[in-house]
Amino acid sequence: MLTIALPKGRLADQTLDIMEKAGYDVSAARDKSRKLILEDKDAGLRFILSKPSDVPTYVEYGAADIGVVGKDTLLEEGRQLYEVLDLGLGKCRMCVAGPAELKDKLDEIPNKRVGTKYPNITRSYFEGVKGESVEIIKLNGSVELAPLTGLAEVIVDIVESGRTLYENGLDVLETVADISARLVVNRVSMKMKEEEIKPMIAKLKEALVDEE
Amino acid sequence: MGNKFYTPDGFNDQFPGICGFKRELESKLRNLFMLNGYEEIETPGVEYFDVYKEFVNEEELYKFTDSKGSLLCNRYDGTIPTVRFCAGRNDTLPVRFSYIENMYRSGKAGGGKLSGFTQGGIELLGASGAKSDAEVLAIAIKSALEIGITDLQVSIGQVKFFKGLMNQLGIDEEGQTKIKNAIANRDSVTIEKLDISKEDKETLLMLTESGGTYDTIDQILPRITDEGAKEALSNLKEILDIMERYGFLKYVSVDLSLIESIDYYTGMVFKGYTYEVGFPIISGGRYDDVAKSFGKEIQAVGFSISLTLAITALMRQDKYSPAKGASVIVGGDFETATATAEALRAEGTPAILDTTGMDEETLENYAKEKGIETVMFMDGGKA
């Protein structure tokens, strides 16, 4: 029996589509009830639906063998996991954004204040990659408000189309990382359930190639 | 003191039945280590911070100062204090030491992992070569089997192989860190994006996909030209040969992506896994350079097993039975009861003597609640 942690929402459905294409019977997981654990004994699969940012926790601790999680969450949480496959879903970028007039002038502002939902990614980007100290202001949503209200000079956030930014007079200043959904595997499960997991990875890989 | 009843985050009490069970496992380990000639030592549990600072992230150490202002820390692992101990003496090498102690790691708790936990382990100091590596690996496997972990998978890797391969591919230090992380995370996405030849990518991907035994080595060997990497593979081959003689080959697989996060390993490394815990319960390898930090040249290899994680695994695998308390309680006339309890203890039966003067009914009820099998109520010879 393999336990698979899926992030509630669109990403879960898209993952199930790929699994179906790879030849797995995932009808149990399509159940639209409010059940959080969906099990199919015959297929040897058990699905758990969790908050996206909790998926790496379930997988790292071994409560789930496999999980699907955005690269943003992986970077932010820094978990000990095997990151085996890029599912190519939920593609976007992690960016530094701010007022459009700051373009190419970002480095000129000393002691920047940065608003973000991703304090760890922000710290490792500014300290590790750019080699500068910044003040990080942790926010939980509508991060774009921070530069508009003067709470921070810039933000670090996920950018998909960039529409929210543009409509508020903001722009992408720098790209921190490319983001997409990844298939992650618990390090112990990879050893103890190798016979189930390795073929699954191979089949999913094939299904992804077919799609391209 | 609102939190008087609680233990700090990451630490817990050992309840009576579990503590007894744990002591039984410790005895089994102690006996195994002794049978293999590893003498037990005890280090104080408090070390100078300087002892650890080269090897462990500062934030993972519990630090404090003594009255002279020296910076101290709690014991983080068994290996470093053992090497310190050995380096400070002039024993004829090799020496074989073992320990069973509590370790303290700040900020590592969760998923069955605690900040304070118990490890048993051995260190073989002053011995190089595959035969020494294999001895430690074999005892690691025996230790898991001895305490009841029979669903066991041990992955062995080689730090020198990775170093040699990087040399062969001509990759600079910055690139090496990136590749190291990618391989340790089995992150094929990053590897495929690297700016190296297709053939080299294939070689790197073989590391992330390894998991067999001899076949894994034979498959990658033709691609290897670096002498160090070749030696590393032949070291693994020799270890496999010895494992086969022990009958342990079924527990072992070669995992070339096993590139330890702790950088002090210099040769073969291994991790042991079982069902129902998300973390390895066994960890070990060769660390020839650690003693240099203490000004000595001592080639060494060792391993540790986490009893705390092993007990979690055994409980979830339904292989746990709590240690039993006393099977008899003796009450009634105190003088007769004392004599009876002492007689029982003399023949090896754990017996409780009632010191509170319970009447027969109270004593019966008490015994029932506590799961004590036999109640003996003494009437002082008046009957």
% of chain A surpassing 90 pLDDT = 60
What backbone phi and psi angles, to 5 degrees, belong to B249? Answer: -60, -30
Q: Return the higher-pLDDT residue of B3 and B180.
A: B180
Euclidean distance between CA atoms B71 and B223, whole angstroms: 49
State residue B259's pLDDT score. 83
What backbone phi and psi angles, to 5 degrees, belong to B298? Answer: -135, 110
Residue B1: pLDDT over 70: no
Q: Do A192 and B280 touch (CB under 8 A)?
A: no
ipTM > 0.90? no
Q: Choose among B188, B255, B276: nearest Cβ to A84.
A: B188
Residue B382: pLDDT over 60: no
Please give the average per-residue pLDDT across B194-222, as a whole number. 89
Q: Do A190 and B186 touch (CB under 8 A)?
A: yes
Which runs of E-coded beta strand occur in A20-179?
37-40, 45-50, 66-70, 82-86, 92-99, 113-116, 135-138, 154-159, 170-179
**Residues of chain A positioned with their CB less than 8 A from the CB of B185:** 81-83
DSSP A102: G
Please give the average per-residue pLDDT across B7-29, as a whole number. 94
Residues of A with CB under 8 A from a CB of B: 60-63, 81-86, 182, 185-192, 194, 198
> Of A44-48, A85-89, B118-122, B214-218, where does the model show the most confidence?
B118-122
How far does B306 lie from chain A, in Å, by closest CA?
Answer: 15
Q: Do A86 and B189 touch (CB under 8 A)?
A: yes
State residue A39's pLDDT score. 86
* Per-residue model confidence as pLDDT tens digits over B112-121: 688 999 999 9
State residue B381's pLDDT score. 60
% of chain B surpassing 90 pLDDT = 80
Classified as helix, coil or strand, B101 is strand
* Per-residue model confidence as pLDDT tens digits over B138-152: 999 999 999 999 999
* Per-residue model confidence as pLDDT tens digits over A24-47: 888 888 877 778 888 888 888 999
Please give the average per-residue pLDDT across B298-304, as a whole number. 98
Q: Do A61 and B186 touch (CB under 8 A)?
A: no
Q: Are B270 and B262 in contact (CB under 8 A)?
A: no
* Per-residue model confidence as pLDDT tens digits over B323-363: 989 999 999 999 999 999 999 999 999 999 999 999 999 99
Residues for chain B: how many in total?
Answer: 383
Name which of A89-103, A144-158, B199-213 the model is least confident about. Answer: B199-213
**Residues of chain B positioned with their CB less than 8 A from the CB of A124:** none
Q: Do B274 and A182 touch (CB under 8 A)?
A: no
State residue B318's pLDDT score. 93
**Mean pLDDT across chain A:** 90
Residue A17: pLDDT over 50: yes
Q: Residue B383's pLDDT band (boundaries 50, 70, 90)?
A: very low
Closest CA to A188 of B14, B324, B309: B309
Q: Choose among A62, A82, A198: nearest Cβ to B277.
A: A62
How far does A188 lie from chain B, in Å, by closest CA?
Answer: 6
> Burial of A204 by CB count in 10 Å (0-12 exposed, 13-18 middle, 19+ buried)?
buried
Cα of A9 vs its chain's centroid, Å: 13
**What is the number of other CB atoms lying within 10 angstroms of the CB of residue B35?**
10
Please give the average per-residue pLDDT across B24-31, as a whole number. 98
Dihedral sign for Cα atoms in the order B21, B22, B24, B28: positive
Q: Do B186 and A191 touch (CB under 8 A)?
A: no
Name which of A129-143, A145-159, B188-202 the model is least confident about. Answer: B188-202
Please give the average per-residue pLDDT across B9-30, as a whole number. 94
Q: Choose among A63, A83, A189: nearest Cβ to B185.
A: A83
Q: Residue B51's pLDDT band (boundaries 50, 70, 90)?
A: very high
Q: Are B133 and B239 in contact (CB under 8 A)?
A: yes
**Mean pLDDT across chain B:** 93
Residue B2: pLDDT over 70: no
How far does B309 lie from chain A, in Å, by closest CA?
Answer: 12
What burial letters (b/e) apply to B312-346, b meaning 16+ CB within 10 Å? Answer: bbbeebeeeeeeeebebbbbbbeebbeebbeebee
Q: Choose among B153, B188, B189: nearest Cβ to A192.
A: B153
State residue B109's pLDDT score. 64
Instruction: Check: pTM over 0.95? Answer yes or no.
Output: no
Tell me: cis bond preceding A99? Omega within 30 of 0 counts: no
Q: Choose among A83, A188, A198: nearest Cβ to B280.
A: A188
Euclidean distance between CA atoms B313 and B190, whole angstroms: 34
**Residues of chain A positioned with their CB less than 8 A from the CB of B112:** 61
**What is the number of other CB atoms lying within 10 angstroms of the CB of residue B256?**
27
Place of tokens 């639209």: A32
**Residues of chain A positioned with their CB less than 8 A from the CB of B273:** 187-188, 191-192
Residue B249: pLDDT over 80: yes
Residue B57: pLDDT over 70: yes
Please give the average per-residue pLDDT across A81-101, as a whole number. 92
Q: Return the higher-pLDDT residue of B34 and A161.
A: B34
Q: Are B183 and B171 in contact (CB under 8 A)?
A: no
Classified as helix, coil or strand, B276 is coil
